[in-house]
Amino acid sequence: MSSINTEKIRQNADLINPISACPFGEPITECPFIPYYTLNNEREQIMQIDVMPQEELDELRKFHRACMERYRNNEWKPKKICTQVRDNG
């Protein structure tokens, strides 16, 4: 089993939450994190950070920060709150 304790994952730890599940409930349609949610395994989702190019991670971070800002500014409300239990691998 691969370790999720790698330097790259630690350096991009701020992406663990949004790559594992939408922190606002159901993601908006254009959310680039949606493909990672379909993995349905938190360990596998986190491991994606280790294999993605840093440029792609930076783009995901940029999107997530803009999404958080829109949420804080009440520009949109989450559709529903996630209550499903994920397989944590």
73/77 Cα distance (integer angstroms): 10
Query: Is 30 within the bounds of a domain?
Result: yes
Give residue 89's pLDDT band: very low, low, confident or very high (50, 70, 90). Answer: very low
Q: Is residue 88 part of a domain?
A: no
* Rounded-to-integer distance, Cα 23 and Cα 10, Å: 19
Within a domain: 86 = no
Span 38-47, pLDDT tens digits: 999 999 999 9
How far apart (Å, rounded) are the C-alpha atoms in residues 9 and 14? 9
Q: Which residue range forms the structural domain that includes residue 21?
A: 7-72
Q: Considering the domain boundaries, does residue 67 fall inside one?
A: yes
Q: Is the pLDDT of residue 64 over 90?
A: yes
Q: How confident is the model at residue 3 (pLDDT cuts 50, 70, 90)?
A: confident
Number of domains in the chain: 1
| In a domain? residue 79 | no
